[in-house]
Structure 1
Amino acid sequence: MVFDWQNCVVLLLVLAAGAYVGWRSFLTIFARKQSGCGGGCSSCPASKPTNEGFVSLDSLKPTVRAGDQSS
């Protein structure tokens, strides 16, 4: 195999990508957890459930449409 400049560029790119993935993995595994958003605390407003999209059972009762009445 001939080792020309294109192989050198590819080798450098692959090593840089591997170093980046390794660094991000290291930070994910060994970094201290910060107390901010994403920390899992219950005082965050984003962690509280909302009632948006809540459908009550009363609203699911069948209703009679004006054209469906049979007399």
Structure 2
Amino acid sequence: MIEFIVIVESGADARTATKLAERILMEQIDWLEPELIKDIFNWSGLQVGTEHSCWSDVTKIIDDAKDQLR
């Protein structure tokens, strides 16, 4: 599975961005069928279990990740 990290302003932006990306992928990859997208591509945020991350939270997310490495 190919994972894409989605960093946006809001949930609505995430839905718009992922649908637009899926549309572009469908146009560019001849063999890609709509029902295959969910099995090949995964859209997520920077943190495990999230669907997207917000720009305003990125610094905190990075700092939290650094703290976990220590």
TM surpasses 0.5: no
Name which one, 1 or 2, has greater alpha-carbon Rg: 1
Higher relative contact order (CA 8 A, sep 6+): 2
User: TM-score, structure 2 length as denominator?
Assistant: 0.31
User: TM-score, structure 1 length as denominator?
Assistant: 0.31
- Give the structure with the larger helix fraction: 2
